[in-house]
């Protein structure tokens, strides 16, 4: 057909000649490459977005663990201030009731909720209960107790079952994995 057009003096395009030879014309070849490159680009962008979201989650949890550790340090300061007036003894009651003694005496006003949880901080002068605190307090210890005894630690739900902060009698805070191994009573 192209030969007949050429013999009659009609102008033929290069794409028509290439079609007869089974060669893909440039316009069609470019569109096929564009679709392939778009698929690759979309895949790369989606992969990068997934990696970014994972990074955001990990960094947020890391920040929450640091803030939780800071809360335990604040509780430790409150316990030490309390012990000055009570011959070096910490509150004698376990759990939230021991932390409530600190609140009633004005040594602690907040810091009983972990930033990794959805527990809401109690309102002004609200009593500390097991429901609105995220830490477990071990009562009956004093400043001269074994420094390796846990004084305050995260409840198991705070950071999942993988990490947790433990405050010891000597004031050190350890993040453990598995964190329950650091709790020896």
Tell me: the pLDDT tens digits for 22-58? 555 555 555 556 788 888 889 999 999 998 888 887 7
| pLDDT recorded at residue 26 | 57
Above 70 in pLDDT, residue 180?
no
End-to-end CA distance of the chain: 95
Distance CA 139, CA 131 (A): 18
Report the alpha-carbon angle 9-10-15, nearest 5: 130
Give phi and psi for 157, each to the nearest 5: -80, -10
**pLDDT grade, residue 126 (50/70/90)?**
confident
pTM equals: 0.68
Tell me: the pLDDT tens digits for 59-111? 777 787 788 888 899 999 999 999 999 999 999 999 999 999 998 998 988 77
| pLDDT recorded at residue 80 | 93
Type and span of the H or E element at 151: strand 150-154
Cα separations in angstroms, 112 against 68, 120, 162: 9, 10, 20
Q: What is the mean pLDDT of the chain?
A: 79
Please state the rounded mean pLDDT for residues 132-157: 89
């Amino acid at each position: 057909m192209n030969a007949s057009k050429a013999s009659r003096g009609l102008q033929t395009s290069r794409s028509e000649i290439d079609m007869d030879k089974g060669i893909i014309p440039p316009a069609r070849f470019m569109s096929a490459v564009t679709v392939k490159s778009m698929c690759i680009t979309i895949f790369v962008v989606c992969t990068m977005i997934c990696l970014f979201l994972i990074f955001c989650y990990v960094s947020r949890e890391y920040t929450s663990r640091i803030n939780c550790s800071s809360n335990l340090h604040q509780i430790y300061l409150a316990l030490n201030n309390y012990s000055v007036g009570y011959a070096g003894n910490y509150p004698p009651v376990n759990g939230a009731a021991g932390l409530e003694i600190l609140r009633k005496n004005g040594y602690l006003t907040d810091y009983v909720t972990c930033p990794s949880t959805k527990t809401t901080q109690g309102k002004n002068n609200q009593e500390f209960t097991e429901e609105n605190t995220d830490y477990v307090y071990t009562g009956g210890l004093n400043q001269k107790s074994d420094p390796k005894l846990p004084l305050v630690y995260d409840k198991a739900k705070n950071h999942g079952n993988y990490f947790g902060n433990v405050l010891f009698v000597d004031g050190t805070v350890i993040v453990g994995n598995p964190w329950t191994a650091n709790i020896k009573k």
